[in-house]
Structure 1
């Protein structure tokens, strides 16, 4: 199995491959994002050469980083069960809107706040309902001869370089307020997204796709060692190839783009709150450990840190609405 990672060791940052319990570094200057630019086939050839020729470093001795520096992060909402529960939790409505079934929906989140397994995730200012979201993300790589635009599902499938685990951290009370504006989440989401522990290349899953292109991988999330949710990745309403294809329509997907599946069924607290009508299990608190595992990909775990004490809301300035522009006065 080829696993691609980034790590710190002895004061330096490395990119390379993880095999078994060992890390095999690329020559200095070569990066994971460079591998994505070169494409999957070239990367697999390089991995074989690197594993044969490099001096391994024990995995236990390194500090894993987020496995790539994302170019963009699009996060879909592809699990019907999740939509049902969270919609009731966020706005009190029941069921799924008809438009959800018509096409996959996503939002863009912040690629600059990608975090690694093992990091402490602080509670953002103004948040009293910190939550997690259990997801798998597809990572886009280069395909020779393709510009990444207006792809068919078959073409998009070739653009999937590999998969990683994604935790889309969420400040639910902040999200609930801002989504009433009708534009989508912003500060309720953009403070942290955990990616990792590495990228497993897409060829490792070629034999596991069913006839419709879904991957039946088990997904589990625990808080402080207690299982909160479990699901199968194949319960998505669209396979990843269709998500990538949709993202590319009248647009473009590029190497380094990350596309999240959306939260699996029972994969977050807000969904459970919507189903039970109570905050059970409770929102995350400082010291809680959140652990997510996806079959064939790996496990990420983060501890919740302190809440930042700050006022971040900026109320609108009251304004008189002039119907015509007033000319600027001119001095003599």
Structure 2
């Protein structure tokens, strides 16, 4: 099943993509509602709007996909982004540190950071970055968590975590590398180098649809590609991640909670999954940073393609530098 959100001129629709048409969920349900019902509930809804051949029933309204504008396929509850591809870490570290290095700590656990769920964009949206000289893309596959646990799931093992993976979508974790480099010297972040935008889409493909791509070790062997202005920049197999996807979910739930609507990005694939990796390997800004008007197209086997164009940068009001302070411990007397 493919699940999407769309705009059709009269509002927002939410439902199934069936062939080249979209069909709204029964009973006015939204994607968030369906995620809470889990895969079993989603299949029950699908059967209510399709015939035995899997085509939309004559009694339901099926709108041509070409007549709607796809939106991000969900409004995330939260967005965690992992760094799970060793090859990506090797390349980026070469750019940051001048040599390729993967910290020993990387191998210990699938590390992630939280990014902004309030700046999500969808397919074909124009992404407007902050003022940056080093705008980058990041090609990722993201897990979408589902299930009927209202209170969330905590301390899952890998098997239980697999059961709450509702589906997958393509994720572009846009990055302003110069802003990111500054803030990470303070040993925090990434933050402003990232939180201006993350793109998800074109839809959610349910986990059962991609199960045939699981290899013997439980990794998803899906091919991922990214193009800039039609030129292939990077390509990789998602099975090159250091951990299979259920272990991302299990780690995220450790002493915490995962809930329906959570999005967990795989981290950037290797072999050119972002420009930053290539800059490190080439020791130069080659290929060049993204500029206004550039088109970024991401294609993941079994999922679809996600296309966006870079818009004009947005200049923000200046924040002054820190002011020297006297480090007093008590207020001065009047």
Instruction: Give me the TM-score of the superposition, normalised by structure 1.
Output: 0.95
CA drift at 1:145: 9.4
Contact 1:91 1:176 (8 Å CA) reproduced: no
Runs (4+) off by over 6 Å: none
Asked if 1:121 corresponds to 2:120, the answer is no
Corresponding residue to 2:292 among 245, 266, 286: 286
User: For 1:1-332, what aligned pairs fall within 5 Å after superposition?
Assistant: 2-27=1-26, 29-51=28-50, 52=57, 53-125=59-131, 127-143=132-148, 147-265=152-270, 266-322=272-328, 324-326=329-331
> Contact conserved, 2:150 with 2:259, CA < 8 A, in 1?
no
Distance 2:81 2:176 in 1: 16
How far apart are the structure 2 equivalents of 1:86 and 1:258?
24
Q: Matched residue of 2:249: which SS?
A: helix
Q: Is the 1:66–1:117 contact (alpha carbons within 8 Å) kept by the matching residues of 2?
A: yes
Q: Give the CA deviation at 1:56.
A: 0.6
CA distance in 1, matches of 2:309, 2:165: 30
Per-residue CA deviation, residues 105-128 of structure 1 (Å, 9 max, x unaligned), is 000000011100101111213x11
Partner Cα separation in structure 2 for residue 310 and residue 111 of structure 1 = 20
* 1:318 positional shift: 1.5
Look up the SS of the partner of 1:24 in the other structure: strand
Equivalent-residue separation in structure 2 for 1:310 and 1:36 (angstroms)? 36
Q: CA deviation at 1:317?
A: 2.1
SS of corresponding position for 1:206? helix
CA contact (8 A) 2:149 2:259 kept: no
Asked if the contact 2:145/2:262 (under 8 Å) is kept, the reply is yes
The Cα shift of 1:311 comes to 4.4
Over the residues paired in the alignment, what is the CA RMSD in angstroms?
Answer: 1.6
CA distance 1:70–1:147, shift in 2 (3 Å):
closer
Distance 1:208 1:149 in 2: 28
Tell me the secondary structure at the aligned position of residue 195 of structure 1: strand
Q: For 1:130 and 1:70, how far apart are their aligned partners in 2?
A: 24
> 2:213 is paired with a residue of what secondary structure?
coil
Q: Could you tell me how far 1:309 is from its partner in structure 2?
A: 2.8
Cα 1:291–1:318 shift into 2, 3 Å: same
SS in 2 for 1:117: coil
Aligned to 2:53: none
In the alignment, the residues of structure 2 paired with residue 207 and residue 129 of structure 1 have an alpha-carbon distance, to the nearest angstrom, of 38
Question: Whole-Å Cα distance in 2 between the matches of residues 328 and 29 of structure 1?
Answer: 65
Structure 1: 5+ residue stretches without partners: none
Task: State how many pairs are aligned.
Answer: 326
1:47 to 1:314, Cα distance in 2 relative to 1, 3 A: farther
Deviates more, 1:137-146 or 1:57-66: 137-146
Identify the range of structure 1 (303-312 vs 216-225) with the bigger mean alpha-carbon deviation.
303-312
Q: Distance in 2 between matches of 1:312 and 1:44?
A: 51
Q: Measure how far apart 1:180 and its partner are.
A: 0.4
Structure 1 residue 315 displacement after superposition? 1.4
Shift of 1:310: 3.5
Residue 28 of structure 1 deviates from its aligned partner by: 6.7
> CA contact under 8 A between 2:7 and 2:71: conserved in structure 1?
yes
Once residues 333 and 96 of structure 2 are traced to their aligned partners in structure 1, the CA distance between those partners, rounded to angstroms, is: 46
Mapped contact 2:26–2:45 kept (Cα < 8 A): no
Unaligned runs of 5+ in 2: 51-56
Looking at structure 1, the residues matched to 114 and 280 of structure 2 have their Cα atoms a distance apart, in angstroms, of: 24
